[in-house]
Amino acid sequence: MIVPFRAAQEFDAGPKWKELFELLWPAYHAWFLKEGDAARPSYPACRAALRRHMPEIVPTFECLVDLAGGSDSVARCLSLYRPTPYLTGCSQAVWMRREPMLVRNYDYHPKLWDGVLWHTAWNGRQVIAMSDCLWGLLDGINEDGLVVSLSFGGRKVVGDGFGIPLVLRYVLETCGRVSQAIEVLQRVPSHMSYNVTLVDAAGNFATVFVAPDRPAIVTRRPLATNHQRTVEWSQYAHATASLERERFLASCLEDPHETPERFATRFLEPPLFSTAFAQGWGTLYTATYRPLAREAIYGWPGYTCWQSFERFTELLMSVEYRA
């Protein structure tokens, strides 16, 4: 399967974002209506939730809605308030020797991925991040050196809250340190369970387990796969080898002979790298974030894309995924 991948720079949302919205909207509209229009909250409810929990990004939300045509469905979908549930894979870990570094694999179905890396400054703070849900993000870094990354938390519970990609967008738009990001994750509700791993330029790190039915749990764990403190959905954990990947990451981090370079390349190999694309959790990319250098490195077998705030390269390329 061949999928397009783009890197785009647009500090203020405008024609580039609109072009990509028009490309991706048919699939997102179908996803939005998957459970029926009545299953999704009304526009007044979505707007009120955004204003209550993430007021700083409401002007950006309104700008994007206008760019996208301003329809009721567009506004409700872009709010990412109580969105249609979905599952992903993912492995992520923080390396702390010599300099901090976060490495992650994003595991999902190739046809359901935005395939867009954005360099933006929508609210005055520069952000380089992998797009999801049109303006949310899967992982990324901001100009302060704060890095965030998500993985599914391996629980079936769905509740009141936002899709986590928008919460992570909010974190990078408004926070500069791990402590600030933790406060956001404790305050803003998530509609499903996710593991959010954080690291900043000062070397602070955390993994926060968020869920719709219990308070966020803040840990000093430097890694996360697809369960939280314990396995609560055994079938999913087994299918995605969540425990096996967790143990492998822990052993690598504890190995005194491991180097940062070797640690990063392990994400392109089993058991971290997955080709289970048909099941919906094949590895779509590996991301390496270096907070001190303010660099982001994206990798696929045989190809690496380096990006930074000082030198961001726009590109369009094709990525081939083989089962």
Full pLDDT tens readout for the chain, 323 residues: 999 999 999 999 999 999 999 999 999 999 999 999 999 999 999 999 999 999 999 999 999 999 999 999 999 999 999 999 988 889 999 999 989 999 999 999 999 999 999 999 999 999 999 999 999 999 999 999 999 999 999 999 999 999 999 999 999 999 999 999 999 999 999 999 999 999 999 999 999 999 999 999 999 999 999 999 999 999 999 999 999 999 999 999 999 999 999 999 999 999 999 999 988 889 999 999 999 999 999 999 999 999 999 999 999 999 999 88
Residue 280 sits at the vertex; the CA angle it makes with 277 and 282, to the nearest 5 degrees, is 40
Alpha-carbon distances, residue 277 vs 113, 118, 124, 273 (angstroms): 12, 24, 37, 11
- In this predicted structure, what is the pLDDT of residue 88? 87
Name, in order, each residue with C-beta under 8 angstroms of 262's C-beta and a sequence gap of 6 or more: none
Residue 279: its pLDDT value, please? 87
Give the list of residues 6+ apart from residue 69 with CB closer than 8 angstroms, or none.
Answer: none
* 269, 283 contact by CB (below 8 A): no
Per-residue pLDDT at 245:
98
Cα–Cα distance for residue pair 160/222, rounded to 1 Å: 28
Residue 147, pLDDT score: 99
Crossing angle of helices 58-67 and 15-32, rounded to 10°: 90
Which residues, including other chains, have CB under 8 Å from residue 52's CB and lie 6 or more apart?
Answer: none
How many angstroms from the chain centroid is the CA of residue 184? 15
Q: What pLDDT was estimated at residue 280?
A: 86
Quote the pTM value: 0.98
Q: From CA 303, how far away is CA 299, in angstroms rounded?
A: 6
The Cα–Cα gap between 145 and 125 comes to 11
- Which structure tokens are listed for 200? 């900043």
Phi-psi region of 279 (alpha: psi -120 to 50; beta: other; left: phi over 0): alpha
| CB atoms closer than 10 angstroms to residue 310 | 8
User: Looking at this protein, which amino acid is placed at residue 182?
Assistant: I
Looking at residue 207, its pLDDT comes to 99
- The matching CATH number, chosen from 3.60.60.10, 3.40.50.261, 1.10.287.3510, 3.40.30.10, for 2-320 is 3.60.60.10
Where is 263: in which H helix or E strand? helix 260-265
**Cβ 260 vs Cβ 236: under 8 Å:** no
* Amino acid, single-letter form, for residue 25: W
Per-residue pLDDT, 11:
99
